[in-house]
Structures are given as C-alpha cells and as structure tokens.
Amino acid sequence: MQKTPMTLAGAEKLRAELQELKTVKRPAIIQAIAEAREHGDLKENAEYHAAREQQGFIEGRIKEIEAKLSHAQIIDVASLDAGGKVVFGATVVLLDLNTDEEKTYQIVGEDEADIKENKISVSSPIARALIGKEEGDEVTLQAPGGTHEFEILEVRYE
C-alpha cells in the first residue's frame, strides 16, 4: 500500500488522540455499558443502546487512526533542507498579486489539512502549483472564481 506523507506534528497529534481514546474514552464507555446493563431489560434501555453506539464510534476512530499511522510516511519538517524550494511540510508566505494581501500556508498531509490553521493539503490545487517553486517565483492558479496570481515571498521549514 502507498505511504501517505504526514508531518511529525500531525503524527504526534494523531498519537495523542489515539492515546486519549484508548486510555480515557474506551474505559469510560465500557463503564457506561456496564452501568446501563444493571438497569435491566436491554431491549428498551436507551442508555445501553446509546453507550453501545458511542462504543462503535470510538472503536471505529481507533482503527482509523491506527490505519493512518501505519500508512504514514512521517516527515520531520525542521530537518528539511530543500534549498529554499517549496516542498511538503514547508510554510510558504504568499503575496496575492490581485489583492496585495499576504497569506501564509503550511503544506501538510490530507489528514492534517485545516484551513482555519492555514494548513493546506499537499494534494490541493494551490499546493500542487507551489511545489518545486522558490522565493521570488510567481505562481498562477486557475480557480473556479477566476485566475489568481501569487508571488512567493518566503519559504520556511519549521
């Protein structure tokens, strides 16, 4: 199976969530199921059914995280030296030439992408347009809303 790139920070975040699920949430839901069983008839016990459903969600998420981590190619961005080129994990400061607005994005794996944190997926159109470029380069991006032109002001590996 193909390895998917993931930053070291993204992997640590997933490991922390996995640890929380296994050591806190899983035991709590097992306790809730045991308590609901004590209430008698399971057919009409809403607490029991809700707890079992929650258990299914937790177990599914644990399997999903374990699968993601097992197929991840973890890349330590701080140890990268790409000679100023935009590569996976790089933080890029762009100047939108249409609006004169500065934007900063980090190129991360698909599972880590979060636009609120300015983290964009390596497979996104803007990331694909930026990969391989250097500071000072201009990038043209065709988007549904029209053409956007950016200048790369800075590339950092942090």
Assess whether 97 and 139 both reside in one domain: yes
Q: Is 92 exposed, middle or buried (0-12, 13-18, 19+ CB in 10 A)?
A: buried
| CATH number reported for the structural domain that contains residue 58 in this entry | 1.10.287.180
What is the spatial distance between Cα 51 and Cα 144, in angstroms, rounded to a whole number? 44
Assess whether 49 and 83 both reside in one domain: no
Helix (H, G, I), strand (E, B) or coil at 107: strand
Question: What would the pLDDT profile of 108-119 be if each residue is shown by its tens digit?
Answer: 998 899 999 999
Assess whether 48 and 101 both reside in one domain: no
What is the spatial distance between Cα 32 and Cα 27, in angstroms, rounded to a whole number? 9
What is the spatial distance between Cα 81 and Cα 154, in angstroms, rounded to a whole number? 14
Report whether pLDDT(142) > 90.
no
Q: Which of 75, 109, 124 is the last residue of a domain?
A: 75
Domains of the chain: total: 2
Assess whether 59 and 83 both reside in one domain: no
What is the spatial distance between Cα 121 and Cα 117, in angstroms, rounded to a whole number? 12
Structure confidence at residue 1 as a pLDDT band (50, 70, 90):
low
Question: What would the pLDDT profile of 11-45 be if each residue is shown by its tens digit?
Answer: 999 999 999 999 999 999 999 888 888 877 767 77
Amino acid letter, residue 33? I
Q: Which of 75, 107, 122 is the last residue of a domain?
A: 75
Assess whether 68 and 109 both reside in one domain: no
Assess whether 84 and 53 both reside in one domain: no
Question: What would the pLDDT profile of 96-109 be if each residue is shown by its tens digit?
Answer: 888 889 999 999 99
Q: Which of 44, 58, 124, 115 is nearest to 86 (CA)?
A: 124
Assess whether 98 and 59 both reside in one domain: no
Average pLDDT for 114-135:
92
Assess whether 27 and 63 both reside in one domain: yes
Q: Which of 33, 50, 75 is the last residue of a domain?
A: 75
Assess whether 151 and 84 both reside in one domain: yes
Report whether pLDDT(73) > 70.
yes
Assess whether 21 and 54 both reside in one domain: yes
Residue 112 domain boundaries: 77-156
